[in-house]
């Protein structure tokens, strides 16, 4: 009976004292979303967009059936050269897996690629003089997300923020590094207004990951998701180390595309 009384007393004392103790501990201040956006924007502007570097890209594209079962896998090895910010890729090797069999189809792929280029060049030569090109963002909206400039879809710049609402949370990775999780929702639906969650280094304001989807889908696309992991190289280059895209689209029943594509960047080298 004495033991039960002691336990009961401990519970009562704990219930009275612990809230009083923790009441004196100040809660962490709320995160200022505007300050966070300003920090990320300044960090991104500090990088060199006209860098010179090389990397190897391992690109894996998996085609699926209507139940998202893999049908065909293409693995490409590409040599990437970035000169003054302009990207140039050369396919080095192509492996195809279908019906349980894997084959080297590099020569076939390159021959088909040359044939497509020659056909396109001939078609361009046969056309009349084209009309003046519209600005890149307009072409991107019309043709469906064909952009080279990542700033087109990022929400951090002051002139982009009015299209979005933001919510920020704090967390940490397995090594204890403080991170911000920035949830972004597009209030203006547009092909260029992507929404989702950015993972941001709390100390440097560097985005290290994005998990996104466009707020407005391109024509004939019913599903589009994307992920990207980033790293800073030599403290001046903000580069992707992994991208992942899932696409489900097509025109009625004529042609349906269900693809998951992943690209991993390896052997990064800065060209001085």
161-202 per-position pLDDT tens digit = 999 999 999 999 999 999 999 999 999 999 999 999 999 999
For residue 144, pLDDT beyond 50: no
Domain that holds residue 165: 2-270
* Structure token pair of residue 111: 């021959």
Convert the chain into a string of H (helix), E (strand) and C (coil).
Answer: CHHHHHHHHHHHHHHHHHHHHHHCCCCCCCCCHHHHHHHHHHHHHCCCCCCCEEEEEEEEEEEECCCCCEEEEEEEEEEEEEECCEEEEEEEEEEEEECCEEEECHHHHHHHHHHHHHHHHHHHHHCCCCCCCCCHHHHHHHHCCCCCCHHHCCCCCHHHHHHEEEEEEEEECCCCCEEEEEEEEECCCCCCCEEEEEEEECCCCCEEEEEEEECCCCCCEEEEEEEEEEEEECCCEEEEEEEEEEEEEEECCCEEEEEEEEEEEEEEEECC
pLDDT of 23 reads 52
pLDDT of 48 reads 87
For residue 223, pLDDT beyond 90: yes
Rounded to whole angstroms, the Cα distance separating 186 from 161 reads: 9
pLDDT of 254 reads 66
Per-residue pLDDT, averaged over 116-142, amounts to 69
pLDDT of 150 reads 66
pLDDT of 3 reads 45
pLDDT of 108 reads 94
Nearest 10 degrees: CA dihedral of 32, 36, 37, 39? 140
Per-residue pLDDT, averaged over 55-62, amounts to 97
pLDDT of 35 reads 97
Per-residue pLDDT, averaged over 211-215, amounts to 96
Q: What is the band of 85 on the pLDDT scale with cuts at 50, 70, 90?
A: confident
Residue-averaged pLDDT of the chain: 85
Number of domains in the chain: 1
């Amino acid at each position: 009976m004495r033991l039960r009384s002691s336990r009961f007393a401990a519970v009562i004392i704990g219930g009275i004292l612990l809230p009083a103790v923790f009441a004196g501990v100040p809660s962490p201040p709320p995160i200022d979303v505007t300050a966070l956006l300003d920090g990320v924007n300044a960090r991104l502007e500090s990088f060199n967009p006209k860098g010179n570097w090389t990397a190897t890209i391992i690109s894996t594209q998996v085609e699926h059936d209507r139940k998202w079962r893999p049908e065909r896998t293409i693995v490409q090895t590409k040599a990437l050269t970035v000169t003054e910010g302009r990207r140039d890729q050369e396919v080095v090797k192509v492996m195809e897996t279908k019906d349980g069999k894997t084959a080297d189809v590099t020569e076939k792929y390159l021959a088909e690629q040359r044939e497509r280029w020659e056909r396109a060049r001939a078609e361009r030569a046969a056309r009349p003089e084209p009309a003046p090109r519209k600005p890149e963002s307009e072409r991107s909206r019309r043709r469906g997300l064909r952009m080279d400039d990542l700033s087109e879809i990022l929400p951090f710049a002051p002139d982009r923020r009015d299209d979005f609402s933001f919510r920020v949370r704090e967390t940490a990775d397995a090594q204890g590094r403080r991170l911000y999780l920035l949830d972004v929702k597009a209030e203006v639906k547009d092909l260029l207004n992507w929404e989702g969650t950015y993972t941001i280094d709390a100390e440097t304001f560097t985005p290290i990951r994005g998990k996104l989807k466009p707020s407005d889908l391109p024509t004939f696309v019913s599903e589009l998701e994307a992920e990207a992991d980033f790293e800073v190289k030599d403290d001046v280059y903000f580069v992707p180390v992994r991208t992942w895209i899932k696409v489900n689209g097509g025109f009625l029943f004529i042609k349906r595309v269900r693809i998951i594509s992943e690209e991993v960047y390896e052997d990064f080298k800065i060209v001085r």
